[in-house]
Chains A and B, each alone.
Chain A
Amino acid sequence: MKAAALKLDKTLIRREFWENRSLWMVPAVAAGILTVLSVYALIAILLHNQQVNNVDVNGMHFQIDEMPDLSNSDDADLTSFVRFGTLSLGALFNFLMQIVVFFYLLDSLYAERRDRSVLFWRSMPVSDVRTVLSKLATACIANSAITFVVTIAFQLVLLVLLMVLGASVGAHPWLLLAHPGAFLGAWLLLAYGLIVQTIWYLPFYGWILLASSWAKKVPFLWAILVPLGVMFAELWVFHTGKFAHMLLAYKMRWMGLAFNLDPLHFGNLKHLDLSGSIMGFGNIGALVTSPSLWIGLAVAAGFTYGAIWLRRKRSEI
């Protein structure tokens, strides 16, 4: 019975990926384009100048001795370098996936009503609860697992390119490989950050699901205009921006709790000690006991329940 239920859930999630190929195509294509650009840059550097430090390629300026000299670096520097690189790449793909997931969720309960395929899906013995949760789970997988895999794949590509470049200028980038622990640690950190962010974003996901199951047309407008309307109403009536500030503060707060840094003051980021415990896992306790987390989860549950209720009620637009 349990195996059958697991198989069912797996199929429901696979179904989402059949329908929404953009969930993996967009990051894959983005990584592909970045790879091509990087290879192009590398070839250009190698062809144009092997000896000179300052290189101009099609307006792009490279200064090769800015590359960290790893031969003299200690473990802490190296860890910090690898972590910073991994998390920067992760942030890039994470930004992309947030957009992809937003549009995925917007369509998830709307498209099936628009093309009336909801009548086919609902003719199968799959509950509305399960269906809606499978869509939420897909969003979570996309935001965490896909971002993680694409980030690491692209990082490995960059690493190979870095080796080639390093070898040609006499640096020793392969020393990086002598410290696999630095990479594993950085990847663990990336995974941790993505999982925390995904859980933290559940209320947003729930809201978009609700808009998707509610809208008779253009769910985008519902998802965006309702919160904007609240913001403007508040501004108009009370001349304050508390709601907007609350949303923004909530959206950013996970970083502060997970990594013990204040993302609203990015200026501080430069002075962060990336090697130390600040970027470690020491804050799970503070995270789990944070009221914001639990309030957010309660709100997410409410929105998701609404989306399930609506799917049960209306099978037509």
Chain B
Amino acid sequence: MSTLVKARGLSKSYGATRALDQVDFEIEEGRIVGLIGPNGAGKTTALKAILGLTDFEGELDVLGHDPRQARHELMRHVCFIADVAVLPRWLRVSNAIEYVEAVHPGFSRERAMHFLQRTKIKQRSKVGELSKGMVTQLHLALIMAIDAKLLVLDEPTLGLDILYRKEFYTSLLNDYFDAQRTIIVTTHQVEEIEKILTHLMFIDGGRVTLDRSMEQVAEDYCEVLVPQDRADAARGLKPLYEREVFGKKLFLFEGVSRDELGKLGEIHTPSVADIFVAKVRGDAK
């Protein structure tokens, strides 16, 4: 297994704001990494740095390249969809396919057609005539038809309806992902992707606050529903976060053994969203 992305002391400032502050991380082949963080936390900046779309300080190695120097070399093996709809309105669907086929050695027309057949998109249509969801579908079809080592998806399902969102992640997992591929995905709809992630990374205030595998996350984090009278005992174990649910207290713990917590009350596995809220709020305390 090889390391695709390696960041050491990655920093980036916009004026006085530090979007990334001495960040270290590594992304290995065959992972699906969920990059989660509040707006303005530095997610998009980190992705842009990986894609060679912005300058930065520190070290960053993507597939053996410095993305600032060799963006177009990198793009042979890295695909991305930015968080804003970016296909131009004048572009015809057939021309878009023709273009990517000509400029990208890893593109397969058959695969693109296979993905497009499931949609209502016509070859003759221009992007300007498609609905917002259809534009995203087209963009995804183009990108998923490329045999890339690293796929970066920044809010890929923004503007898609719920049916297609489900379908998209299923097809990403079944038709696209394999051991040789790596995916980095950000989204606000964490619950949609948490089942498909292999790794989780939180970014908050320009720093990586969590970076581990999903198994590790399931092991490390535990939620306990505790009756009010045992709440103080629970607080003694230093929970990350607490909130009230149906007259009981719900505590979220990091790194406390399940045996010990089992004595306090009913144990749950927290969702990524719960852990995220706990981390952000907990760190703010």
Among the 9-residue stretches B4-12, B86-94, B168-176, the one with 4 or more Cβ atoms under 8 Å from chain A is: B86-94
Interface residue ranges, B against A (CB under 8 Å)? 51, 53, 55, 71-76, 79-82, 84-92, 95, 98-100, 102-105, 139, 143
Among the 9-residue stretches A111-119, A270-278, A289-297, the one with 4 or more Cβ atoms under 8 Å from chain B is: A111-119
B91 touches A18 (CB 8 A): yes
With CB as the reference atom, state the residue of chain B lying closest to A126: B103
A11 touches B102 (CB 8 A): yes
B86 touches A124 (CB 8 A): no
Q: Which residues of B contact A125 (CB under 8 A)?
A: 72-76, 103-105
B88 touches A124 (CB 8 A): no
Interface of A: prevailing SS: helix
B72 touches A116 (CB 8 A): no
20 contacting pairs across A/B (C-beta < 8 A):
A11-B99, A15-B99, A19-B91, A112-B88, A116-B82, A117-B86, A117-B91, A119-B53, A122-B53, A123-B75, A123-B80, A124-B75, A124-B99, A125-B72, A125-B75, A126-B72, A126-B75, A127-B72, A130-B72, A313-B55
Q: Which residues of B contact A126 (CB under 8 A)?
A: 72, 75, 103
Given known A11-B98, A125-B103, A315-B53, contact A120–B86 (CB-CB < 8 A): yes
Q: Which residues of B contact A12 (CB under 8 A)?
A: 103
Residue A7 is within 8 A (CB to CB) of chain B in the complex: yes
Interface residue ranges, A against B (CB under 8 Å)? 4, 7-8, 10-12, 15, 18-19, 111-112, 115-120, 122-128, 130, 312-313, 315
With CB as the reference atom, state the residue of chain B lying closest to A111: B88
A8 touches B71 (CB 8 A): no
B53 touches A128 (CB 8 A): no
With CB as the reference atom, state the residue of chain A lying closest to B100: A124
| A4 to B101 alpha-carbon distance, docked (Å) | 11
A18 touches B92 (CB 8 A): yes
| A4 to B76 alpha-carbon distance, docked (Å) | 14
Given known A18-B90, A115-B89, A117-B86, contact A122–B71 (CB-CB < 8 A): yes
With CB as the reference atom, state the residue of chain A lying closest to B139: A120
Q: Which residues of B contact A123 (CB under 8 A)?
A: 51, 75, 79-82, 143
Given known A18-B95, A125-B72, contact A120–B88 (CB-CB < 8 A): yes
B76 touches A8 (CB 8 A): no
Q: Which residues of B contact A315 (CB under 8 A)?
A: 53
Query: Contacts A122-B53, A125-B103 given; 8 further ones with Cβ under 8 A?
Result: A8-B103, A11-B98, A12-B103, A19-B90, A116-B84, A124-B103, A126-B72, A128-B72
Q: Which residues of B contact A116 (CB under 8 A)?
A: 82, 84-86
Q: Which residues of A contact B139 (CB under 8 A)?
A: 120
B252 to chain A, nearest CB (A): 37
| A118 to B48 alpha-carbon distance, docked (Å) | 13
B128 to chain A, nearest CB (A): 10
Q: Which residues of B contact A11 (CB under 8 A)?
A: 98-99, 102-103
B199 to chain A, nearest CB (A): 23
B59 to chain A, nearest CB (A): 20
| A127 to B75 alpha-carbon distance, docked (Å) | 10
B99 touches A119 (CB 8 A): no
Q: Which residues of B contact A119 (CB under 8 A)?
A: 53, 82, 84, 86
B98 touches A120 (CB 8 A): no
Q: Which residues of A contact B87 (CB under 8 A)?
A: 117, 120
| A112 to B87 alpha-carbon distance, docked (Å) | 10
With CB as the reference atom, state the residue of chain A lying closest to B78: A123
| A112 to B104 alpha-carbon distance, docked (Å) | 20
6 cross-chain pairs, A with B, having the tightest CB-CB distances, nearest first: A11-B102, A117-B88, A125-B75, A127-B72, A119-B86, A119-B82
Q: Which residues of A contact B86 (CB under 8 A)?
A: 115-120
With CB as the reference atom, state the residue of chain A lying closest to B75: A125
B283 to chain A, nearest CB (A): 30
Q: Which residues of A contact B90 (CB under 8 A)?
A: 18-19
With CB as the reference atom, state the residue of chain B lying closest to A117: B88
Q: Which residues of B contact A127 (CB under 8 A)?
A: 71-72
B103 touches A115 (CB 8 A): no
Q: Which residues of B contact A313 (CB under 8 A)?
A: 55
